[in-house]
Structure 1
Amino acid sequence: MDFHCHLDLYPNARDVCAQAVKKNEFTWLVTTSPRAFTATNRILGGHGNLLITPGLHPELVHDRHGELKSLLEQIKHARAVGEVGLDGSKRFQKSYDIQRKVFTAVVSQCANMGGRVLSIHSRQAVRDVLSILDGHPGFGTAVLHWFTGTGSELRTASDMGCWFSIGPAAFNSASGKALAKKLPRDRVVPESDGPFAQVNGETVMPWSSGQTAVLLAEAWELSVDEVTLSLEINSRRLIGLIRAAG
């Protein structure tokens, strides 16, 4: 399974999509803009085990914030939303105020629609992401993708009931390994974040959950079989939440 993947952005997207549909029980294809969502649905849609969701990536908000109205409309007809969120890194500071407005509008719309499951980008912006979520009761379920916050922020997010999607590339750094040890084990699901994520110079593919299980087993000091079972149970619970939304 893969709970955060940009299938549409692989160089050979149609082929990778076909393989993911065959190999994975479930793949969550997050899109980066409302226009991309429409196009991806047309080109790659139609598979029962492939979830394609509307989003507006914070890195693109500066250029694409005019598409917010379209995104809010798409959310009405979706069970899940992603990729959305905030990016507080230096490169995107100029757009941060607009990012906050867009993300707040998205979370508000999810609450208005009775709750959605959101795949959320929170790089160097965890506190603001959690504050916006906390300010909109009934928004649904937050899945923090490739979490890179502090240990304190992780505890706060966990206490709020957030889920976490993690892939092999999260273990490339010592800080990533340290955070992985502290994740709430009953709310962790696998992701690839392909084609952006890489391990040893190789692009992570949507069927990398086995690799994630091996790395988590080391972090959690459990057997690979135990972690694999835990990820499967968690994944089925989250899929249930997605199906119940909307």
Structure 2
Amino acid sequence: MVSLPPLPDPLPHPVVDSHCHLDTASEVSGLDPDEAIGRAAAVGVTKIVQIGCDLAGAHFAVEAAERWDAVVAGVAIHPNDAARMAADELPLALAEIERLARHPRVRAVGETGLDHYRTRDEAGHRIQRDAFAWHIGLARATGRTLVIHDRDAHAEVLDVLDAEGVPDRVVMHCFSGDAAFARACLDRGAWLSYAGPVTFKPNEHLRDALRLTPLDRILTETDAPYLTPVPFRGRSNASYLIPHTARFLAATLDRDLSEVCRALEQNAYDAFGGRWGAETTQTDG
């Protein structure tokens, strides 16, 4: 196992990691999902949304949600994966995502969207737009939350959303825009999820967006094992490091930490269709 950051002080109220990759984190850091979930619970991160980005990840997400009460799943084909798949392979993958999306432990269709950073050719962009539109339709048909990956494609993401019809619940994963883009997303009813980059010194545009975002529309996430917050930027991320981001959000907003944590927890339940755990269930949308 690589050297992991120490556990932070526990939060005063439970929060939810609204976007995590427990499987990838285990491969990168050696922190197995059981221990990752346990460490998170020890510091007040009591629930996790496990996101699958390809077929293997989607199957893992469903299996994780079946195994651990703290976990619910999101399933999709990531835009970069969609752009790289063979023409006859992608429809088969999407058919399997549609089947998995109807599982009762799946709360989200995502992450899906557009990525103009890693996919730069127009043919790839067309495939991404078509796949994104398909995932939007699936979210609408199943009543699942749409989780959007948006990298260097702000205007195009909104264009596709508007053309296809905005689902009832939309989460902007690892929100990366400025205040104007935040306003445009909020106008469409989205929740904005702030990850480790909001703590990075150069990213004042993210903090401007955060200050504009109503408290009841803010989520937080790790995207573990990526995007580790300050003071451990560059090291492997995990759900137990959410307290660093939560404390930063509270300080930036000049709000009481307990108030912010309570909002983050409730917002996650609102964004992903209600509470989950041993005491709760969910039916298909």
Shorter-chain TM-score bucket reads 0.7 to 0.9
Larger CA Rg, structure 1 vs 2 = 2
Matched, 1:18 2:48: no
Q: Greater CA deviation, 222-231 or 69-78?
A: 69-78
Q: What's the C-alpha RMSD, in Å, of the aligned pairs?
A: 2.4
Question: How far apart are residue 48 of structure 1 and its match?
Answer: 1.5
Residue 169 of structure 1, CA deviation: 3.0
The alpha carbon displacement at 1:121 in A equals: 0.6
**In 2 relative to 1, CA 182–43 (structure 1 residues): closer, same or farther, beyond 3 Å?**
closer
Q: Does 1:76 align with 2:91?
A: no
Identity %: 25
Higher helix share: 1
- Which residue of structure 2 lines up, in the alignment, with residue 176 of structure 1? 206
Q: 1:41 to 1:240 in 2, by over 3 A?
A: closer
Whether 1:103 aligns to 2:132 is yes
User: 237, 248, 257: which one pairs with 1:204?
Assistant: 237
CA distance change for structure 1 residues 44 and 155 in 2, over 3 Å: closer, same or farther?
closer
Tell me: CA distance 1:39–1:185, structure 2 relative to 1, closer, same or farther (3 Å).
Answer: closer
Q: 1:4: which partner in 2? A: 19
Matches within 5 A, 1:11-160: 11=27, 15-22=31-38, 23=41, 24-42=45-63, 45-64=66-85, 66=90, 67-77=93-103, 78-89=106-117, 91-94=118-121, 95-113=124-142, 115-137=143-165, 139-160=167-188
Structure 1: where are the runs of 5+ without partners? none
CA distance in 2 between partners of 1:136 and 1:15 (Å): 39
Instruction: Decide whether the 8 Å contact of 1:111 with 1:136 is kept in 2.
Output: no
Q: Secondary structure at the match of 1:222?
A: coil
Q: Paired residue for 2:259?
A: 226
The count of aligned residue pairs is 244
How far residue 139 of structure 1 moved from its aligned partner, in angstroms, is: 2.6
Q: For 1:154, give the aligned amino acid.
A: A
Distance 1:46 1:186, change over 3 A: same
Question: TM-score, normalising length from structure 1?
Answer: 0.87
Q: 1:244 to 1:160 in 2, by over 3 A?
A: farther
Letter in 2 for 1:82: G
Task: State the shift of 1:14 in Å.
Answer: 7.7
Q: Quick one: distance in 1 between partners of 2:47 and 2:239?
A: 10
Q: Is the 8 A contact 2:228 2:235 kept in 1?
A: yes
